[in-house]
Amino acid sequence: MRQLFHLPIDPACRKVRMLLSEKGLKCELRAEKIWERRDAFLRLNPAGEVPVLIEEDGTSIPGGQVITEYLEEVYPEPTLLGKNPIDRAEVRRVATWFDVKFQGEVTSNLVDEKIFKGFLGLGAPNASAIRAGHANIHYHLEYIGWLCDRRRWLAGDDVSLGDLAAAAQISAIDYLGDVPWSEHQGAKDWYARIKSRPSMRPILADFVSGKKPPPHYADLDF
């Protein structure tokens, strides 16, 4: 069967897991402790990062953005990118906003500090990074609300990779209990909608040892 080397919580992996599910593609998950830098894994992806997709014929496709473009090309229906180049550019713009900008300004400061730093043996979380993550998330949640005032989903009237990329990031922060939902009703309404999709269910069942999510994490009525 198709396999995905991944890490629970990691947003790039979550986005690919959701995309596979939205397209109805079955996939066996294999957790990869990337900090062990296994030789066999480095041969699959010299960058040493997850996610890496292995197709049934053994073809390996490494990296979140590479995998999403590949899956859209090989399994185009249903599309999560959109039907024409301009719509797809907008979907890619929104997805990149969350993959890169939200990841750098929020997720790196919260998830990497509170969870992955421990796995990597890099010491205690950095308090000023955590403060920055808490400060930066408001602007992104406001942007989600602003987009949803103008369209049904984040990148247009259909659910898209933009929503998957955003949900992948925000669900990782929500696992830590660090999303200030009560101050951002628009973002909360959007998250309630994406959270109820079947593709989110396995993600809401993720568990990282030593760190329990808050009670509302998997609750559709949070």
Contact set with a copy of itself (CB under 8 A) = 46-47, 59, 61-63, 65-66, 69-70, 73-74, 85-86, 88-89, 92-93, 96-97, 101, 143
Measured from the CB of residue 196, what is the shortest distance to a copy of itself in angstroms? 28
Measured from the CB of residue 213, what is the shortest distance to a copy of itself in angstroms? 29
Question: Residue 23 in contact with residue 72, Cβ under 8 Å?
Answer: no
Whose Cβ is closer to a copy of itself: residue 37's or residue 215's?
37
Measured from the CB of residue 150, what is the shortest distance to a copy of itself in angstroms? 12
DSSP assignment of 184-203 equals -HHHHHHHHHHHTSGGGHHH
Whose Cβ is closer to a copy of itself: residue 3's or residue 197's?
3
Measured from the CB of residue 95, what is the shortest distance to a copy of itself in angstroms? 9
**Other Cβ atoms closer than 10 A to 133:** 22
List alpha helices for the chain, DSSP H.
Answer: 11-22, 39-44, 64-74, 85-96, 117-119, 127-150, 161-175, 185-195, 201-204
The SS3 call for residue 79 is: coil
Measured from the CB of residue 63, what is the shortest distance to a copy of itself in angstroms? 6
Can you tell me which residue has the tokens 């062990």? 36
How far is Cα 161 from Cα 222, in angstroms, rounded to an integer? 23
Question: Going by C-beta distance under 8 Å and a sequence separation of 6 or more, which residues neighbour residue 204?
Answer: 171, 195, 217, 218
Whose Cβ is closer to a copy of itself: residue 53's or residue 200's?
53
Whose Cβ is closer to a copy of itself: residue 149's or residue 221's?
149
Whose Cβ is closer to a copy of itself: residue 101's or residue 201's?
101
